[in-house]
Amino acid sequence: LNNAARFTNEGGVTIRARWDERDIVVSVADTGVGLAPEDLPTLFDEFRQLGPQASRHHSGLGLAICKRFVELHGGSIWVESSLGEGTTFHFSLPRAETVVSSVPERDWDAATWNLPQEIQPPKIAVLDDDPAVLRVFERYLDGYQVVRAREGKSLREQIRGDGISAVVVTNPKAADDAPLVPEQWGAASLPVISCSLRTTRDAARSLGVAQYLHKPISQEQIRASLGHLGRPIRDVLVVDDDPDMVRLLVRMVRSGFRRCRIAEAQTGLQALELLRQRRPDVVLLDLLMPGLDGYGVLEQMRSDEHLRDVPVVVITAKGAEDETVTARSLEITRPGGLSVGEAMGCLRDCLDLLLGRAQDSSAPARSAAPRA
């Protein structure tokens, strides 16, 4: 409804609802500017701002959030649009009698990993003390069981007793007294993959801020970030150039800290002015702003003796293609080395992925055997 009102200058908005044997379907039709056919496939992506009026202030999250809500209720959402004629959004929700009223609880981890031994997935140990790193490997390594070793001692214990197939080292400092040499772990043929990752914790440390969050964020993240500061929260400054985001952050803070005073700024210069007028307990800061951006605000704060120790929680927007964890490097080693075929297979897979050839049907098929 907000989008229909925002993009309709003439005509109006019509809401309809109908039902069939399984679903209730709601439609919101407008007579606005419409969308080009090439824009429709990415319309529900996060941070997409399409159409001739995309410059109007909004976060680009509304439709992505709508899609998640509808799908969580077992429904679906789709769109029909003609450029210059208008847009109609439809979403369906299953009727109550077609929905299971309760879902039995089940230990899905146990169901996944308590498989017969012959089909037990290979177990990979990740040496790192950051839970965010483990979540990345769990997300991408389908077909593998990923376990975390916080430090060298626990890694050695897992290798000796848990049937580890390979080790991924993302944080060499976590190895402490455990050299990164498989022979000294009691596993002479164990492959070791060194994958240096930059996490949000590293980003926060490099900027000198308390927390580093990516939009979209949740109320729980705000509460946890402010709670980790270990101090009373009585005065908060919210800085973001998107007025809708400012209002959202204010509501999130207010829900957990009802008695605190909240000041609002939509530019970096306005934020600095408010900071010098009244020193807050914490600043919620967007990095990507026109004019003086969040980086400039941080630089000014760190050069001001009165403000340099004010905690800052960075809340920044990045597209769906950006990760909260990024890899700096990748190195694969194994006692005795890799065969030429293994090394070239790893190299080819990396090149195909980086050059976009992995899903490119026009790329020549791989040969079954190495060339003479």
One digit per residue, the tens of pLDDT, for the chain of length 372 reads: 877 777 777 788 899 999 888 889 999 999 888 888 888 888 888 766 665 444 444 556 778 888 888 888 888 899 998 888 889 999 998 886 655 544 455 554 555 555 455 567 788 888 877 777 777 777 777 778 888 776 667 777 777 676 777 888 776 565 554 445 555 555 556 777 877 776 666 677 778 898 888 878 888 889 989 988 988 999 999 999 999 999 999 999 998 888 899 999 999 999 999 999 999 999 999 988 889 999 899 999 999 999 999 999 998 875 433 445 566 667 777 767 777 777 777 777 877 776 766 554 444 444 444 443
Which amino acid belongs to residue 175? A
pLDDT value at residue 94 = 86
| Closest to 29 in 3D by CA, of 81, 94, 66 | 81
How many CB atoms are closer than 10 A to CB 146?
A: 19
E-strand ranges in 190-259 read: 192-198, 211-215, 235-239
pLDDT value at residue 323 = 45
CA-based torsion, 94, 91, 48, 212: positive or negative: negative
H helices present in 9-125, as ranges: 62-72, 108-113
Residue 239 phi, psi dihedral angles, 5° rounding: -125, 115
| Closest to 58 in 3D by CA, of 195, 250, 215, 237 | 215
pLDDT value at residue 151 = 66
pLDDT value at residue 236 = 96
pLDDT value at residue 97 = 61
pLDDT value at residue 259 = 87
